[in-house]
Amino acid sequence: MAGEEVAPFKVDIPKEEFERLKRKLQDTRLPPKEIVPDAGSRYEPEIHFVHARSPRPDAIPLIMVHGWPGSFYEFSQVWTPLSHPPDPSQSAFHVVVPSLPGFAFSDWPPRAGWTLQDTARVFDKLMKRLGYERYMIQTGDWGHWVGRELESKYTESCRLVHFNFAPSPLPEGVEYTKREKEVQGRVDDWLENHMGYAVCMRTRPHTIGFGFNDNPMGILTWVGEKYNEAADPEKQKRAYWTDCVLTTASLYYFTDCIMPSMLCYYENVRHENFASFAMEEHNRITVPFGYTSFYWDTEPSSKRAVERTGNLVYYKERNDGAHYAALEDPEGIIEDVRELAAQEWKHS
């Protein structure tokens, strides 16, 4: 119908478009295996990691863990300054940055039901295999649950943690501060208006995984959207931010990991249950931990909320930076990790 006139419509797709579609389908690279292949005799994956060893004999072992849609590259701005500080009076660290199972160059999860608690067990073994009997961890996003598992169950080896993401419920029956109201509003907005991607990956990882695997533009839009929505608006204006997004999307494309990376959503706690899950007694952190609240994060929290989930000994608020803290504010993460370590490591 055009205006008031009803007219017949003829479907007329040029032949060259059919030929182009045929070429694209013939050239499509499907995921190399099922999303959760049969494990056989293999029970645990082999893990890819970056190891930035410090020359300092007093260096503190530090494992840094990413989430989705992150990668080991997320820590590329901090592993050298942390392991090779320009000032000898500053704390130094042996930095280990693993790729989660199913991400980048790490193996895919070897069996159904693989959770972040399983990943924590493997990462603890990794640190000990590298000779680090005691270590600290810095993490955010899905890595938060790796850190919480290590700090609540592996307390003989994992002695200290710094979070930049720590969903926790505010206490009831108290008057909230201005910042508490604002960050709670950001949490409510994220859960109400930005969770479509998580529902898709939690319920249909195979469907969208096959669709995206050999589709660089699809991966770029899927991953890039979250880099735009979950980052500080001012940080995104910097020229390097485009490089960060393109590098991350390229890693997902070249390593065929967009589909298995979705298993974090399929096998673990749902976002709307994060805060209550952190409050469960078996998840309570008993060793010292610190938290930096980045205002522009997707689910920023507050001191009175986070301290309900464990032994909080260090808290800081930063009004710039967001979900990708080590990329957006590397100087801030470096400073906070050093401050927490200086305060607590000698007692660990």
Residues carrying an active site annotation: 141, 265, 323
**Token pair 């096959």 in the structure block, residue:** 210
Angle at 332 between CA 227 and CA 176, to 5 degrees: 80
Task: Return the percent helix, strand and coil in the chain, to nearest 5.
Answer: 45, 15, 40
Give, in order, the Cα–Cα distances in Å from 45 to each of 68, 129, 180, 327: 19, 15, 41, 27
Q: Which residues of 96-122 are buried (b: 16+ CB within 10 A; e: fewer)?
A: bbbbbbbbbebebbbbeebbbbbbbbb
Distance CA 330, CA 301 (A): 20
Secondary structure class of 139 (helix, strand, coil): strand
| Per-residue tokens: 119 | 């990943």
The whole-angstrom separation of Cα 102 and Cα 175 is: 43
Cα(175)–Cα(161) distance, rounded to whole angstroms?
A: 29
